[in-house]
Structure 1
């Protein structure tokens, strides 16, 4: 049951938690079909309108995950790496995804997990958005969802200090990858709705759409690797 009222303070956020059982959602259905837990670590928009969602699963569930994905038309999966008994998968999702739905309305998914057919999403809503309205819209669009909690908490902490983040960019990305990533950001590629497409950004940079996709994907992959495995783990090349 939702149990708190959001504050108007710009230094606070509202954390919402929602439960899901609908098997049509990839992280719920795949966790059920593979009898395992899947945890979302990051999601990024792709140039073709799909989203790349990065999930970790236990190493021994890898084969079951791949079998489950082949049975879903709107999802493809690629195993990126395995470490310490966990596998990192990239799911390319073109169908309905509740985490994407929240993100598009200003709620920032922080924990997304599927466990043997039961899904759980924890998201943070910045003060400039109406958390109650977002929850109400979500429940209307996802009738199977269950509101679990809503509470006010301290403002979202930055992932990196500024100096550490700039060092990560210099160490892990080539000059061209940094240029493409920065231009994409400045032109609103990561905004919702997206202000410019990948093709438009490619035109600005005077490169082909395929080259843009190659550079932006490489930059995102390197940053994700640095975040999840430690900065400096993948040198610029």
Structure 2
């Protein structure tokens, strides 16, 4: 079985998501939700989730003191991100809803499926933000290898980074210094340094996130 890709995606106030809607009145984040399961003899699925400090609503099924279990029945219409993922067979690893926003951690089989899923999510929901992508390594624990999102770089930052790499700025000894690379790009040395430092910081955010 392929190890696939684990994606963390955030939705700002997604329409049709019962977990996000309930999180608007909850006293804390909702981070305990069951995987949707098929109802016996019926079309659709059911999702149960634990809401801190909220016991009001017809879909409330059980109270745990200061928290309440809610149950939502899906009739087969795709109205929320989780149902959309279900169409692609992507298992959801974790749900976190807080103040109306929803963060999902899910698994895609490969980059092709991930692109297809993200395209569909982008079409259905207005504000979708990819927070993190992880690809398990061939050796060692899965968290040791990360997907670096080059899309976070501006065109100029990427141009500076590529020029610095191509001209040997990162080699020891250096084959080119900051002044030479800045001249090649027809920019000042301070501008080169600013873009290079920003680009490196953005990449290191992906590489080192969660390791500190």
CA drift at 1:100: 1.4
**Who is 2:72 aligned against?**
91
Alignment gaps of 5+ in structure 2: 139-212
Bigger CA radius of gyration: 2
Residues in 1 aligned to 2:89 and 2:19: alpha-carbon distance in whole angstroms: 21
**Who is 2:22 aligned against?**
30
C-alpha RMSD over aligned residues:
2.8
Choose the corresponding residue for 2:3, options 12, 15, 26.
12
Which secondary structure does the structure 1 equivalent of 2:97 belong to?
A: strand
Higher RCO by CA contacts (8 Å cutoff, separation 6 or greater)? 1
CA drift at 1:30: 1.6
Residues in 2 aligned to 1:150 and 1:27: alpha-carbon distance in whole angstroms: 23
Choose the corresponding residue for 2:96, options 107, 113, 116.
113
**Structure 2 length-normalised TM:** 0.53
CA drift at 1:97: 1.6
Higher share of residues assigned strand: 1
**Structure 1 length-normalised TM:** 0.48
Whether 1:57 and 2:51 are equivalent positions in the alignment is yes
TM superposition outliers: structure 1 runs of 4+ over 6 Å:
none
Map 1:64-83 onto structure 2 (within 5 A). 66-67=56-57, 77-80=59-62, 82=64
Whether 1:131 and 2:114 are equivalent positions in the alignment is yes
Which secondary structure does the structure 2 equivalent of 1:114 belong to?
A: strand
Paired residues, number: 133
